[in-house]
Amino acid sequence: MSATVTLMQVAREAGVSPSTVSRILNGTANVTPDKRERVEAVIHRLNFTPNVQAQALANGRSFSVGVLTQKLSSAFYGETLAGIEQGLEGSAYHPLVVSGHWRAKQEQQALELLMRRRVDALIVLGGVIEDAALQRVAAQVPLVAVGRAVSGLPERCVLIDNHAGIRQVVHHLAGLGHRDIAYIGGDEAQQDAVERRVGFEATLQEAGLSVNPHLMRCGDYTEASGERAAEELLRSGVPFTALVCANDQMAFGARLSLYRRGLRVPEDLSLTGFDDLFSSRYTTPPLTTVHQAVNELGQLAAETVLRLLAGEQPHMSPYVPQLVIRESTGPAPHSPATGGS
């Protein structure tokens, strides 16, 4: 653990004042070539790296943007984080990531941690913390929310048009002749879960089909819950020819449940997801789902934050996700699967 080199040491070693070294470091002012060379040589020789904390303290900015995510192990948010990282690249700002685990209290603590680190801006991915808490921090630093609308902060939310997404799914299935369509929704504590369900029901009617409460189930966005819900649906005996899941993970779980019962996809039953996780391309059969450009959304959030930091007032418009038709959907069979027998 060799002692860490300071700007002051560099200055002494090079026979100049600390200010000169600082100027060279930041290109704040011109310096005679010979001094510059001398200093740079010393910097290199001593392997000096400026202390970011000190810089932050001195000029009032930490050059870091806090990111509140929910789970580091989530494929969905992981991709968004990658997008944010990418969007910030080249910009002097760096992301500082903390997770809230979908727990309001932890999200609150995470926000406090970020504020103590004096992040220059904030990006919030989903979460269940109250809008009021977000408004409070938004009063201190520029804040951009992804995938959730925060009241009082329009133009600061990168929104996804869930309704439009699920609508495409239903019309696709209806077009294939499906009339009995089952649905597995997500935890309605999350905004998008209710938007998707409402969109599903609305489109059903739009397509001249009726909502059958016996074909509606609720999961929590995990594979296990999807498997369980599909199991229940099948066991209930109520016939259906297509199964719409509110996200890909639950579709994966449902897929397993169908496999267990020997039901073929899409011959016996059509299956759809939402999100288009990377792995959805590799399920058997590849999953028909709604593509969200998660990475791009992350980049967009990053760019928006950068723009906000630069004093601009960016305009946001909701992102319309697109249906990707792969191989898990097909024409409705004549005799609906019930799973019975």
Q: Does 115 bind a second copy (CB under 8 A)?
A: yes
Count of residues in contact with a second copy, rule CB under 8 A: 52
Q: What phi and psi values does residue 323 have, to the nearest 5 degrees? A: -70, 135
Closest approach of DNA to the CB of residue 26, in Å: 5
3-state secondary structure of 289: strand
Give all strands (DSSP E) within the chain, no chain letters: 64-69, 94-99, 121-125, 143-146, 157-158, 181-185, 216-218, 242-245, 270-272, 289-291, 322-324
The nearer residue to a second copy, 186 or 199, going by C-beta atoms, is 186
Among 282, 313, 334, 335, binds a second copy (CB under 8 A): 282
Report the alpha-carbon distance of residue 225 to residue 211 in Å, rounded. Answer: 22
The residues binding DNA (CB under 7 A) are: 4, 6-8, 16-23, 25-26, 28-32, 35, 48, 50-51, 54-55, 57-60
Instruction: Look at residue 113 and give the partner it binds from a second copy, DNA, none, a contact being a CB closer than 5 to 8 Å depending on partner kind.
Output: a second copy
Helices (H), ranges, 207-314 = 223-236, 248-260, 294-309
Instruction: Work out the number of other CB atoms within 10 angstroms of the CB of residue 161.
Output: 15
Rounded to whole angstroms, the Cα distance separating 193 from 185 reads 6
Nearer to a second copy by Cβ, of 65 and 81: the residue is 81
Q: Which of residues 211-270 bind a second copy (CB under 8 A)?
A: 223, 227, 252-253, 255-256, 259
Rounded CA-CA distance 331/173 in Å is 8
Which range touches a second copy (CB under 8 A), out of 6-14, 50-58, 230-238, 299-307?
Answer: 50-58
What ranges make up the beta strands (E) of 71-146? Answer: 94-99, 121-125, 143-146
Q: Give the residue with the Cβ less far from DNA, 23 or 196.
A: 23
Residue 161 makes contact with a second copy by CB under 8 A: no
What residues make contact with a second copy under the rule CB under 8 A?
1-2, 4, 49-54, 56-57, 62, 71-75, 78-79, 81-82, 85, 94, 96-99, 112-113, 115-118, 139-141, 223, 227, 252-253, 255-256, 259, 278-279, 281-286, 295
